[in-house]
């Protein structure tokens, strides 16, 4: 894994998506072939049994994996990919605390990449694992990505 000695400064391309804001996870580390995302578990993240909902954990798997393959060192540029497949294995429940998902690119080629993800609690206990495959959108195959173009805000989705 290549890690930049001086991370690029955040830009508009790093702003949280609407879904990321809704769920409440944050990106703690992001570099070539690796990303770490975390979430402080709140009552809204729990299922009826009082544990972190599997959908929340799967969301963190998808986020860590997606970010891991889409890093670009070029400020103002962006890389995009779509999830082709994702498998999550639940190992242990979590009722409170912080979930930390670490995604690492394990292979791939020009258009596809594969990622392994570990989800742990703040004490390092394994909560879940995941394996994901993504396909780069056209133009995002190169590490420098493409210039970011702001898309118009979408409203009227029925979610407010």
Alpha-carbon Rg for the chain in angstroms: 16
Q: Tell me the C-alpha distance between 24 and 135, whole Å.
A: 25
Q: Quote the pLDDT of residue 75.
A: 87
- CATH number, domain of 85, equals 3.10.129.10
- 3-state class of 143 per DSSP? coil
> Which has the higher per-residue pLDDT, 5 or 116?
116
Q: Per-residue confidence at 149, pLDDT binned at 50, 70, 90? A: confident
Cβ of 138: how many Cβ atoms within 10 Å? 9
Total number of domains in the chain: 1
For the segment 26-54, the average pLDDT, to the nearest whole number, is 94
In a domain, 99, yes or no: yes
Element (DSSP H or E) covering residue 38 = strand 34-41
In a domain, 15, yes or no: no
What's the maximum distance between 2 C-alpha atoms anywhere in the chain? 45
- What integer best gives the mean pLDDT of the chain? 87
In a domain, 49, yes or no: yes
Q: Quote the pLDDT of residue 4.
A: 38
Domain extent at residue 122: 24-146
- pLDDT of 9 higher than 70: no
| Unique residue bearing structure tokens 């609407």 | 18
- pLDDT of 157 higher than 80: no
pTM score of the predicted model = 0.83
Q: Tell me the C-alpha distance between 33 and 137, whole Å.
A: 17
- pLDDT per residue as tens digits for the range 78-111: 999 999 999 999 999 999 999 999 999 999 999 9
Cβ atoms of 76 and 4 closer than 8 Å: no
In a domain, 1, yes or no: no
In a domain, 8, yes or no: no
In a domain, 36, yes or no: yes
Q: Per-residue confidence at 153, pLDDT binned at 50, 70, 90? A: low
In a domain, 156, yes or no: no
- pLDDT of 12 higher than 70: no
In a domain, 98, yes or no: yes
């Amino acid at each position: 894994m290549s890690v930049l000695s001086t991370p690029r400064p955040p830009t508009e391309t790093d702003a949280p998506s609407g879904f990321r804001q809704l769920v409440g996870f944050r990106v703690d580390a992001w570099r070539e072939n690796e990303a770490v995302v975390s979430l402080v578990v709140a009552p809204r993240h729990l299922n009826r049994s009082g544990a972190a909902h599997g959908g929340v954990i799967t969301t963190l798997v998808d986020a860590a994996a997606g970010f891991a393959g889409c890093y670009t060192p070029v400020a103002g540029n962006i890389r995009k990919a779509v999830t082709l497949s994702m498998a999550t294995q639940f190992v242990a429940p979590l009722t409170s605390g912080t979930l930390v998902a670490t995604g690492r690119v394990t292979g791939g080629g020009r258009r596809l990449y594969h990622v392994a993800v570990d989800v742990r609690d703040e004490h390092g206990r394994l909560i879940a694992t995941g394996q994901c495959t993504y396909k780069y959108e056209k133009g995002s195959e190169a590490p420098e990505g493409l210039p970011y173009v702001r898309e118009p805000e979408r409203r009227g989705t029925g979610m407010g």
